[in-house]
Amino acid sequence: WEATAQVPFSGARIGSFFQDRPVLKNPFLEDALLRGYLSRHLPERDALSDLCKFGERVANEVDEWGRECELNPPRLVHFDSWGGRVDHIVTSPAWKRMKDLSAQEGLVAIGYERSFGEWSRVYQMCKLFLFSPSSGLYTCPLAMTDGAAKVIQSIGISSAVEEAYSRLTTRQPESFWTSGQWMTERRGGSDVGDGTETVAVPQTDGSYKLHGFKWFTSATDADVTLTLARVQDRRGATTPGSKGLTLFYAEVSRDEDGRLKGIEVQRLKDKLGTRQMPTAELLLDGLQAHRLSEEGRGVASIANMLTITRIHNSISAAAAMRRVVQLARDYATRRTAFGKRLKDHTLHTQTLARMEVETRGAFLMVMDVCRLLGREESGVASQLDTNLLRLLTPVVKLYTGKQAVAVVSEGLECFGGQGYMEDTGLPGLLRDAQVLSIWEGTTNILSLDVLRCVARSSGMVLHAYFTHTKSLLASASGVSSLAPAVNSVDRALSELKDFIQGAATKAPGYLELAARDLAYSLARTYTGALLIDHACWKGASASDTYTALRWCEQDLCPVVTRQARGCYDPSTPALDAALVYD
């Protein structure tokens, strides 16, 4: 019985081993590719020291606020204690701190101040890349705010939106406004042209009153919004389809009794992820609005917002991958199994290395699109740059959205059972990643957008793609260590060219079936070329070469592989349907 005193599991004694948690370190210092990329393209000391300082703040302060946003999600208070309708969306103090921080750090403003010329967007997006996984989804309102500012700027800053523009792009927390983006209605979010039932009734003072139901409105605590509606003529008639849509700007305000003016918040959505942020269903009941676009030019006018929010989405996707890799590799130094650290199990490190390759590819692809955006905005873009930006925006959004889910899911497994435990904060990364391929255009809708922009440019966007991708390989000529990667990208480019030429002669519907595989092929091949180009830079490391080789080992051109198997033949849709509904 004397031995009982030493039994470690007894009464309050629950054993002496406790696993060290993974530690978030400064995400700027921890990211070799981010620092390499910036040394190459934006070596300004001011930018680098700001990013390093911000990385420190993210790790030591902001990350905890992000967790607070998750633990203290928004709620909707419909009525005050005396029964008056208030529709108040109550958000956490941490969510409000995120708003102030976003203004102070210039997370939208940087894109409009343009202190680093054509590299300003790269700088802004690098900051958002560090912020995103710790932001409690505050990157969502920032994306829409940036998109709204971009639309207002591109349409022209009239007196009706002058104040809004300056508040959306300010660094002053007390003046900073955020914007919503209310497009989706109950009938459909992809097919906005058919889905929009909201009508705009002209008023004698030149403004409009909106009546409709917006089915998804995220970050609904926004100060203003951009939205689509159909203008009614004198007889109350509207034009159907996309050609009947007009873009409006509206402010979200309250009357002296505290009631929202022209809006009823029906309910908050009960979501898989993004729970830190309110997403509401809104009845627009006479919301006062200002017409921003010409009548019938709503979709074309909101397209600038879509470009910006899709780029933000891609940044968040790459950032989610980066975060899970950083935490998983840290954990691998702390966790022991079968007598050694996880990092010393070669199979585990191989898994981490594969995640790292995906993350690096995603980062370079997104940064390249930010580079193009910056060139366009600072007036130095060539026609090739502009065409490339149009093509690569949907491509990068759809590809990184899918990568993020796969990499984050793999990342959770790296923590074993703990990766599945809510109180570690890890599952939220996966739940939040899942939305990235749904909102701002699903994978299929963006694949079809790729086809449409190719068709409408009479092939010019593809010409830009082939010319630029080929030019990225130039620096690798004669670099023997990269030869297998260069050969793969070269082969993929000529196969893609043949595929596209051949597809032009096929029956209608052929390209529609190939759309997703084509978009993936464009993404993989372009990213391969970017990785090769980066590996040839004078400051590149052996790991940069290794990444390029590994990336280019995969099937860069799934559209060609599947074409050879007859996947897009006219008989396929009937076979697919028979299988699905078997």
Nearer to ligand FAD, 442 or 554 (CB): 442
How is residue 185 annotated by DSSP?
B
Strand partners, 469: none
CB of 389 to ligand UCC, least distance (A): 10
Binding part of the chain for ligand UCC, among 10-18, 73-81, 184-192, 250-258 by CB under 6 A, reads 184-192
Alpha-carbon distance of 115 to 456, in angstroms, equals: 35
Nearest to 548 by CA among 476, 478, 500, 494: 476
User: By CB under 6 A, is residue 227 in contact with ligand UCC?
Assistant: no
Q: Are 229 and 200 in contact (CB under 8 A)?
A: yes
Nearer to ligand FAD, 108 or 414 (CB): 108
**Binding partner of 108, given ligand UCC, ligand FAD, none, CB within 5-8 angstroms per partner class:** none
**Binding partner of 314, given ligand UCC, ligand FAD, none, CB within 5-8 angstroms per partner class:** none
User: By CB under 6 A, is residue 452 in contact with ligand UCC?
Assistant: yes
User: By CB under 6 A, is residue 355 in contact with ligand UCC?
Assistant: no
CB of 34 to ligand UCC, least distance (A): 18
CB of 126 to ligand FAD, least distance (A): 25
Q: At what angle do helices 510-536 and 542-551 cross, to 10 degrees?
A: 160
Nearest to 31 by CA among 15, 10, 54: 54
User: By CB under 6 A, is residue 299 in contact with ligand UCC?
Assistant: yes
Q: What does the block give as tokens for 490?
A: 């070269």
User: By CB under 6 A, is residue 464 in contact with ligand UCC?
Assistant: no
Nearer to ligand UCC, 65 or 331 (CB): 65
| Residue 49 one-letter amino acid | S
- End-to-end alpha carbon distance in the chain: 68
- Give the residue, chosen from 69, 164, 183, 531, that forms a contact with ligand UCC under the rule CB under 6 A: 183
CB of 88 to ligand FAD, least distance (A): 19
Q: Is 571 exposed, middle or buried (0-12, 13-18, 19+ CB in 10 A)?
A: exposed
**Binding partner of 316, given ligand UCC, ligand FAD, none, CB within 5-8 angstroms per partner class:** ligand UCC
**Binding partner of 274, given ligand UCC, ligand FAD, none, CB within 5-8 angstroms per partner class:** ligand FAD
| Residue 338 one-letter amino acid | F
Nearer to ligand UCC, 67 or 334 (CB): 67
CB of 542 to ligand UCC, least distance (A): 33
Site residues (CB under 6 A) for ligand UCC, limited to 185-214:
189-190, 192-193
CB of 525 to ligand UCC, least distance (A): 21
Nearer to ligand UCC, 66 or 441 (CB): 441
How many Cβ atoms sit within 10 Å of the Cβ of residue 547? Answer: 26
Q: Is 233 exposed, middle or buried (0-12, 13-18, 19+ CB in 10 A)?
A: exposed
User: By CB under 6 A, is residue 144 in contact with ligand UCC?
Assistant: yes
Q: What does the block give as tokens for 121?
A: 């967007």
Alpha-carbon distance of 339 to 336, in angstroms, equals: 6
**Binding partner of 275, given ligand FAD, ligand UCC, none, CB within 5-8 angstroms per partner class:** none
Q: Are 287 and 225 in contact (CB under 8 A)?
A: no
Residue appearing with tokens 């996984």: 133
CB of 499 to ligand FAD, least distance (A): 20
Q: What does the block give as tokens for 73?
A: 């999600």
Q: What does the block give as tokens for 580?
A: 């699905």
Kindly list the residues in this chain that would bind ligand FAD in the complex (CB under 6 A).
181-184, 188-190, 216-218, 271, 274, 279, 435, 438-439, 442, 444-445, 448
Nearer to ligand UCC, 38 or 140 (CB): 140
How many Cβ atoms sit within 10 Å of the Cβ of residue 545? Answer: 20
**Binding partner of 188, given ligand UCC, ligand FAD, none, CB within 5-8 angstroms per partner class:** ligand FAD
Q: What does the block give as tokens for 219?
A: 């970050």
- How many residues bind to ligand UCC according to rule CB under 6 A? 28
Handedness of CA 210, 215, 221, 226 (dihedral sign): negative
Q: Are 288 and 313 in contact (CB under 8 A)?
A: no
**Binding partner of 192, given ligand UCC, ligand FAD, none, CB within 5-8 angstroms per partner class:** ligand UCC
CB of 581 to ligand UCC, least distance (A): 26
CB of 438 to ligand FAD, least distance (A): 5
CB of 447 to ligand FAD, least distance (A): 8
User: By CB under 6 A, is residue 242 in contact with ligand UCC?
Assistant: yes
The helix (H) or strand (E) run that includes residue 213 is: strand 208-218
Handedness of CA 156, 160, 162, 166 (dihedral sign): negative
User: By CB under 6 A, is residue 228 in contact with ligand UCC?
Assistant: no
User: By CB under 6 A, is residue 218 in contact with ligand UCC?
Assistant: yes
Alpha-carbon distance of 39 to 92, in angstroms, equals: 38
Alpha-carbon distance of 432 to 411, in angstroms, equals: 14
CB-side exposure of 65: number of CA atoms within 13 Å?
Answer: 25
User: By CB under 6 A, is residue 134 in contact with ligand UCC?
Assistant: no
CB of 189 to ligand FAD, least distance (A): 3
Tell me phi and psi for residue 137, to 5 degrees. 70, 15
Nearer to ligand UCC, 461 or 476 (CB): 461
Alpha-carbon distance of 121 to 114, in angstroms, equals: 8
| Chain positions contacting ligand UCC, by CB under 6 A | 139-140, 143-144, 181, 183-184, 189-190, 192-193, 218, 242, 299-300, 303, 306-307, 309, 312-313, 316, 439-441, 445, 449, 452
